[in-house]
Amino acid sequence: MISFIIPAFNEEKNTKPTIDELSKAINFLKLKNYEIIFVDDCSTDNTLNVVRNYKKFSKLNITIIENKSNLGWGGTVKKGIKKANKKYVVWIPGDNGFKYKQYVNIISNIKNYNVISSYFINANERVFYRYIFTSCYTPLLNFLFNLDFPYYNGLTIYKTNILKKIEIKFNSHIFQVEIWIKLKLNNLLSEVNFVQLKNQERKQVSQAFKVKNSLKVTLSFFYLVFYYWIKKIIYLFK
């Protein structure tokens, strides 16, 4: 039924809690047809040993992939997507950012949608800079790409076959926005459902807000705007 991808870089303290929360959801929902694909992005700490030991003593269906070079968040998720072979796929941050009830909530709403995404009903309780950023970023994306979404980077479940119909270019944190845009351009967003989740604020600083990653995201953003409107213009003149 569903492939769970866990991308991780230097998450030795969070790896076990992340899988524990996912395991609770799997047991609560009594899922049988699932797989957990753990993709390590060249961690320099003990992350790999933690997940190997977890797999050794657990009954969970866990596959471990080791990147040969550091690919970044998007690149690591893409490795997992290529390996996924269930009907649905979802990627879960390896920093224990979600609790099992949130997984249960979104998985229970799959039904027959192409995409099931989520947003926080108490977003104002997030760290201030993240709240301000999201409050500006989401309306801007909706305006530029002619969409009407409450959030773009939430926990999201996709039908695996529609993801494999598009080419995902970026390895940075903006790759999830890229997916939304390319699904729209390929008329694959006709069946989308958004689920409300209560925010569980993470203690870690998001990797996306580090200077190096911010520059990558900014450049990728301008590329996506250019790509989208060129495609729209070409379509108009066909």
For 84-105, the pLDDT digits (tens) are: 999 999 999 998 889 999 999 9
E strand residue ranges, 86-211: 88-91, 115-120, 157-159, 192-197
pTM of the model: 0.86
pLDDT of 235? 75
In the chain the domains, ranked by start, together with CATH numbers, are: 2-236 (3.90.550.10)
In sequence order, the 6+-apart residues with CB closer than 8 A to the CB of 179 are: 158, 163, 166, 168
In sequence order, the 6+-apart residues with CB closer than 8 A to the CB of 153 are: 173, 176, 177
Condensed to tens digits (0 to 9), the pLDDT of residues 141-193 reads 889 998 888 888 889 999 999 999 999 998 887 899 999 999 999 988 878 88
Contact predicate 118/196, CB 8 Å = yes
Stronger pLDDT, 35 or 201, i.e. the higher one: 35
Condensed to tens digits (0 to 9), the pLDDT of residues 67-86 reads 999 999 899 999 999 999 99
Instruction: Assign 50 a pLDDT band (cuts: 50, 70, 90).
Output: very high
pLDDT of 122? 57
pLDDT at 129 over 90: no
Q: pLDDT > 90: what percent of the chain?
A: 52
Condensed to tens digits (0 to 9), the pLDDT of residues 103-127 reads 999 999 888 788 999 887 754 555 5
pLDDT of 205? 46
pLDDT of 130? 57
Tokens read off for 8: 């991780």
pLDDT of 227? 87
